[in-house]
Amino acid sequence: MPLLVKDYLWEETDLSVIITVPLKGAQFNKLDIFSTEEYIKVSYPPYLFECFLFAPVEDVKGKATVGNGAVVFSLIKKEAGIWSSLQAPQAEDKEFKKRKRDEAIQMAHERALEIARIKENEKREQERYALKQQMKIEEDERNRVEAVKEQERKKAAKAIEKLNKPYQKSVKASLKGLDSDDDENDNDNDYKIISMEETEGRETKESIKDNTILNKNISKSSRNSNLSSHSILTSPTSTTKKYQPPKGSKEELFEPLPAPREAGCIQVSFTPRSFKTAARESKAPEEEEWLKKVAEASRNKKSLKDNPDAVDMEEMNPLWLKEKGIGFYKAENYVAAINAFTAAIVLDGNIPSLYSNRAACHLHMKQYRECIQDCTCALDLLTPPVQANASSRCKAYIRRGTAFFHFNEYAEALRDYEEGLKLDPKNESLTADAKRICSIIQGTPIK
Q: Structural domain tally of the chain?
A: 3
Residues near 392 by Cβ (< 8 Å), separated by ≥ 6? 352, 353, 356, 378, 382
What is the DSSP track for 10-57? EEE-SSEEEEEEE-TT--GGG-EEEE-SSEEEEEETTEEEEEEBSS-B
Q: Which of 416, 245, 127, 171 is nearest to 433 (CA)?
A: 416
Q: With pLDDT > 70 as the criterion, what percentage of the chain qualifies?
A: 69
Which range (68-82, 188-202, 251-265, 371-385) has the least confidence?
A: 188-202
Q: What is the pTM of this model?
A: 0.35
Do 323 and 433 fall within a single domain? Answer: yes
What average pLDDT does the chain have? 77
Do 86 and 107 fall within a single domain? Answer: no
207-245 confidence digits (pLDDT tens): 434 443 334 443 444 444 443 433 333 444 444 455 555
Q: Where is the domain boundary, 148, 163, 178?
A: 163
Domain that holds residue 350: 318-442
SS (H, E, C) 140-180: HHHHHHHHHHHHHHHHHHHHHHHHHHHHHHHHHHHHHHHCH
Do 151 and 78 fall within a single domain? Answer: no
Measure the CA–CA gap between 292 and 434, rounded to whole angstroms.
Answer: 45
Torsion of CA 218, 224, 226, 231, to 10 degrees: -10
What is the DSSP track for 384-406? S--GGGHHHHHHHHHHHHHHHHH
Supply the pLDDT for residue 280: 65
Supply the pLDDT for residue 302: 46
Letter for the amino acid at 387?
Q
Measure the CA–CA gap between 107 and 438, rounded to whole angstroms.
Answer: 51
Supply the pLDDT for residue 273: 67
Do 52 and 109 fall within a single domain? Answer: no
Question: E strand or H helix at 65, and its extent?
Answer: strand 63-67
Which range (19-33, 247-261, 405-419) has the least confidence?
A: 247-261
Supply the pLDDT for residue 282: 61
Higher per-residue pLDDT: 194 or 153: 153
Q: Which residues of 103-113 are buried (b: 16+ CB within 10 A; e: fewer)?
A: ebeeeeeeeee
